[in-house]
Amino acid sequence: MSLSAPASDPGTAAWQAKFPGRATVWKLRTHTLTLSRRPLVMGILNCTPDSFSDGGKYFDASAAIVRARQMVAEGADILDIGGESTRPYSEPVSVDEELRRVLPVIEAIRPHVLVPLSIDTSKAAVARAAIQAGAEIINDVTGLAGDVEMLSVAAETGVGVCAMHMQGTPQTMQDHPAYDDVVAEILRWLAERRSALTKAGISRDRIALDPGIGFGKTHQHNLTLLAHCFRFHELNCPLLLGPSRKGFIAKVLGDKEIDRTAGTVGTCLSLASQGVQILRVHDVAATKQALLLYEATGGIDGQPVLVE
């Protein structure tokens, strides 16, 4: 069974009118992703011992490969592979160690999956090696500003990039995050960063932007950003958000130990209704299934989808 919109979908024009400037494609190194009303799902594969949610589970390369294949089977549209934790107060790792963690995984899974691979790194040397091994996207929490060579790597290789906003560094970002107007300030920062990337030779259709939920934001900052993500469509770039299992979910639910899957899914449905194009999550199956049913029942834009 598949879910698909009718050929003459009356909701398409209304959807684009609702979110002027919303990007409909994201060009990668060898792929072009079509960004329909239903968001793409980016599966998280942390090859680390200390990531905040799943640290250690996929640190072994063989376990990471099994999980990668599982996420594709569950419906992941992109796999995001990282070898360095960026949780609050995490310690940085060396280039050699990060390469040791991610390259065997990329090299092993690239021949066996059809979906694009993303390298989650802020190091240019890691990005370049990952691209040579088959990665199509650089996902950089520093907005491609943490390493002076990163812009040239992205421009020379023609990959897609995701530039994220972060106030401070992982070691300092949660000390005292402060904004006068969190949405307006991050909107301005992302616009400036987009301009820097295009000046460096990265075409706008290769750039995705991420307001950085949980990266240098308080609980209220996160909720405000999540409620106003539609405003970022004016930047004319795909929006990529990663709300998965983050602390604001436990805070809202009033339980630090609660399973955060349902809270993640609920947040993703809210983002889908705002036209966000890519959702970065740990729980691929739950998110994908919820999005399919949300779309099929008209939740995204009031236009039910035909079931064939």
Residue ranges of domains in the chain: 24-287
DSSP 233: G
Q: Give the global pTM.
A: 0.90
Q: What is the CA radius of gyration of the chain?
A: 18
pLDDT for residue 47: 82
pLDDT for residue 169: 61
Coil, helix or strand at residue 219: helix
CATH number corresponding to 24-287: 3.20.20.20
Q: Annotated active-site positions, please?
A: 246, 280
pLDDT for residue 55: 43
Q: What are the tens digits of pLDDT across the range 185-222?
A: 999 999 999 999 999 999 999 999 999 999 889 999 99
Which residues of the chain are modeled with pLDDT < 50? 1-10, 50-56, 58
pLDDT for residue 2: 34
pLDDT for residue 175: 60
pLDDT for residue 6: 37
Q: What are the tens digits of pLDDT across the range 228-264?
A: 999 999 999 999 999 999 999 999 999 999 999 999 9
pLDDT for residue 188: 97
pLDDT for residue 308: 58
pLDDT for residue 168: 64
- Give the sheet arrangement for strand 160-164, strand by strand: 207-210, 160-164, 137-140, 117-120, 78-82, 40-46, 278-281, 240-241
pLDDT for residue 208: 98
pLDDT for residue 141: 94
CA dist 265 to 185, 208, 242, 283, 293, Å? 27, 22, 11, 9, 12
